[in-house]
Chain A
Amino acid sequence: MSPAILLLLALLLGLAGWLAARARAWSFKRAAPKNRLAALPSYYGWYVALWVIVPVLIFIALWSAVEPQLVQQSVLASPAAANLPEFGMQRQTMLAEARAVATGAAKGVFNPDSRVLIEPFEKALFRYNIVGVVSTLLIGFAGGAWSFLRLKPDFRARTKVERIVMGILLLASLVAILTTLGIFVSLVFETIRFFGMISPIDFLFGTHWGPDPMGNPANPDPTRYGAIPLFWGTIYIGAIIAMVVAIPLGLMSAIYLTQYANPRWRKWLKPALEILAGVPTVVYGYFAALTVAPFVRDVALSIGISNASSESALAAGLVMGVMIIPFVSSMADDSIAAVPNAMRDGSLAMGATQSETIRKVLVPAALPGIVAGVMLAISRAIGETMIVVMAAGAAANLSANPLEAMTTVTFQIVAMLTGEGSFDHPATLSAFALGFVLFLVTLALNFIALRVVKRFREAYE
């Protein structure tokens, strides 16, 4: 039985509970029209409905994780499983094949030996489906009955529902946090494995990057795992070139929008700017590779720089800068707009011009918010991959020349993971170490940004 059907069942049960409880509330009302109910009838309905649905949902979540194991166990216990190969790929394939046929996902099996397993699978699936449906019904009824019996005219269903809703919201927010934690833990695991093969010192301070995925994994050459050129490329493209573009343009457009643009213009310009943030990065990548990079090269050639390549840090950085303008400008816009009008009036009343007021009062007062926006933009830029893939190249050069090809951490992560090395080769594992360090860096940046934003909040309250 697919979870979807169980889910539908749960919703139906919930609906039934809702209707029943509401009817009960109405009956209280009819029985004693003088007395006020402690809550609107629909709250009684929600109270029971939630008591039906939430436990059932939890059960379904657990059940869909456990059920396949139970089925498999009972199949393995059947006599037909006796002559399965002991371990390895083949055993897994056969089991999967038989299961696919039994659930109707596949028509037939490749391996004739799997065929004997189909029937035990069908039987086990049938049995556990029934267990699933019956348990769902039982749990739903139990929750419904328990909560239904608690309904009384003076039952505070409203506050109870409030509490349950809060619990659900809390759960929802935990999902995001737990995911972050999960990402972190999985990265840490692989990173530790990698650092078992290459010392962190060589990795963090080496200046040559060129892992050889085909080399002997047992004896990697640590001098080829120096990540400095990658981090340099990342910072140079994402935090330097891109910011040189994004900070002035973002700031100036924010100032124009908040201080000079008349409301009609503003209504059009602001969303138009924000569209920039919605363009898929791969489209920026095209733009960088097909338009900006050749242009940069042609300009370089025309002013007499002969070795300009068609892939350059400059092209990637410029386009990335344009991409993150909306991040800078919308944060700056918000924080400039948040500066109380009294500040502006105070400055104007001193005889300051509008641009003096902006430079000397508004921007300094909004600075924490602007800085936070820049931080977020930087962490966005250094995590960016597509533009680099398409415009900056794969060569890990440690150079300050923006016309040279460069590569970044994210690009190398993709390259290493999709490379030829086997999964436990240090070249592949290096992707996790790179990701881990990048994760820490962006985390730190976000943390700083949040702290700065917080200080900003305190400034006027």
Chain B
Amino acid sequence: MVTEISENSPAKMRARDVSVYYGSKRAIDSVSIDIETDYVTSFIGPSGCGKSTFLRTLNRMNDTIPSARVEGAIELDGEDIYRSGMDVVQLRARVGMVFQRPNPFPKSIYENIAYGPKIHGLADGKDHLDQIVEKSLRRAGLWDEVKDRLSDSGTALSGGQQQRLCIARAIAVEPEVILMDEPCSALDPIATAKIEELIDELRGRYAIVIVTHSMQQAARVSQRTAFFHLGNLVEYGETSEIFTNPREERTKDYITGRYG
């Protein structure tokens, strides 16, 4: 661990000595990290190093995997999200997630966005719901493309549009943190550029964490980068620092393409 973390940092999310096990196999080993709202944070590292695993601990999506077990503490605004009595449903409304493959529900575009606000009771009345849908789609940069066909199925959109729909869906419940697991890996360069642009626009409003296999993407969209290797957080710091002047040999090897 090379990262310096001040105990009273204003971080949105703080992980302290987090280890994750699948059965008896340890996938994450004692990781500590701060996630801040002002920055986009990217997680990089070779395949299988535990980026997705760690990301999923941040909104307790690993609860859906029976064999997964988490040790250590993760706080959201100073509140331990793994304490007993934590409302996981509420947590996930505050910490949204976008997946590697776009996964719109097989419902209309409108219903896809309205789903979250409806189950959380965020909208009072149809007009308000309409507003939320429009605002979310605008923020995701999708409004102009779909405003005339809100009742079409979300699955009928192109892959890039679907992914922006999923981002809009996540935004619609006004989360505080958005986790994205390789959101562009199924998209072409143009759709990727659109998503990157979108991430840049969302920065500052939400704390954003993005897992990516593309160094260029990490360099383009993020201000903080965390390099994972074999379940360890090897290095965490300013993106420009990590890419130009890594402190760790392993980071340097990975960034220069020596493995991964």
> Do the beta carbons of B105 and A343 come within 8 Å of each other?
yes
B96–A349 CB distance below 8 A: yes
Q: Interface 1/0s, chain A 316-358, versus B by CB < 8 A? A: 0000000000000000000000001011111111111100100
Interface size band for A: 20 to 34
Asked if B97 lies at the interface with its beta carbon under 8 angstroms from chain A, I say yes
**Contact of A352 (CB < 8 Å), options: B89, B103, B104:** B89
Task: Check if A351 sits within 8 Å of B116, measured CB to CB.
Answer: yes
8 Å CB contact of A356 from B96, B97, B119: B119
Verify A350–B103 contact, CB threshold 8 A.
Answer: no
Contacts of B92 in A (CB 8 A): 348-351
Which residue among A351, A360, A361, A460 has the maximum number of chain B CB atoms within 10 Å of its CB?
A351
Residue A365 is within 8 A (CB to CB) of chain B in the complex: yes
B155 within 8 A of A: yes
Chain B nearest CB: distance from A280 CB in Å? 39
A364 touches B173 (CB 8 A): no
The 8 Å CB contact of B166, one of A344, A346, A353, A459, is A346
Interface pair A364/B89, CB less than 8 Å apart? no
Q: How far is the CA of A460 from the CA of B101 in the complex (A)?
A: 13
Contact B107 A364 (CB under 8 A): yes
Interface centre among A347, A350, A356, A460 (most CB of B within 10 A): A350
Q: List the B side residues contacting A352 at CB < 8 Å.
A: 89, 115-116, 119
- How would residues 89 to 127 of chain B score, 1 for a CB under 8 Å from any chain A CB and 0 otherwise? 111111011010101111100000001100110000000
Per DSSP, chain A at the interface is helix
A351 touches B90 (CB 8 A): yes
Inter-chain contact A347/B61, CB cutoff 8 Å: no
State whether B89 touches A353 (Cβ < 8 A): yes
A351-B90, A365-B105 given; A345·B61 CB < 8 A: yes
**Min CB distance, B207 to chain A, in Å?**
16
Question: Whole-angstrom distance between the alpha carbons of A352 and B96 in the complex?
Answer: 11
* Chain B residues touching A, majority SS: helix
Which chain B residues border A348 with CB–CB below 8 Å? 61, 64, 92
The residue on A at minimum CB distance from B107 is: A364
B61 touches A349 (CB 8 A): yes
Indicate the member of B97, B101, B169 with the most A CB atoms within 10 Å.
B97
Q: Is B170 an interface residue (CB 8 A)?
A: yes
Most buried by A among B92, B101, B105: B105
Contacts of A360 in B (CB 8 A): 115, 119
Q: Flag whether B136 is at the interface (Cβ < 8 A).
A: no
How far in angstroms is the closest Cβ of chain B from A366?
Answer: 10
Closest residue of chain B to A263 (Cβ to Cβ) is B66
B59 touching A350, Cβ below 8 Å: no
Task: Say yes or no: B116 contacts A365, CB within 8 Å.
Answer: no
Measured CB to CB, the closest approach of chain A to B19, in angstroms, equals: 23
Contact A350 B106 (CB under 8 A): no
Out of A347, A351, A364, A460, which one reaches B120, CB within 8 Å?
Answer: A351
Residues of A within 8 A of B (CB): 340, 342-353, 356, 360-361, 364-365, 459-460
Contact surface of B with A, Cβ cutoff 8 Å? 59, 61, 64, 89-94, 96-97, 99, 101, 103-107, 115-116, 119-120, 155, 166, 169-170, 173
Further contacts, 17 of them, CB under 8 A, given A347-B115, A351-B92, A459-B155? A343-B103, A346-B103, A346-B105, A346-B166, A348-B92, A349-B59, A349-B92, A349-B96, A350-B92, A350-B93, A350-B170, A351-B116, A351-B119, A351-B120, A351-B173, A352-B115, A459-B106
Q: Pick 22 A–B contacts, CB within 8 A, sort by A.
A: A340-B103, A342-B101, A343-B105, A343-B106, A344-B64, A345-B103, A346-B99, A348-B64, A348-B92, A350-B92, A350-B116, A350-B170, A351-B89, A351-B92, A351-B93, A351-B120, A352-B89, A356-B119, A364-B106, A365-B105, A365-B106, A460-B106
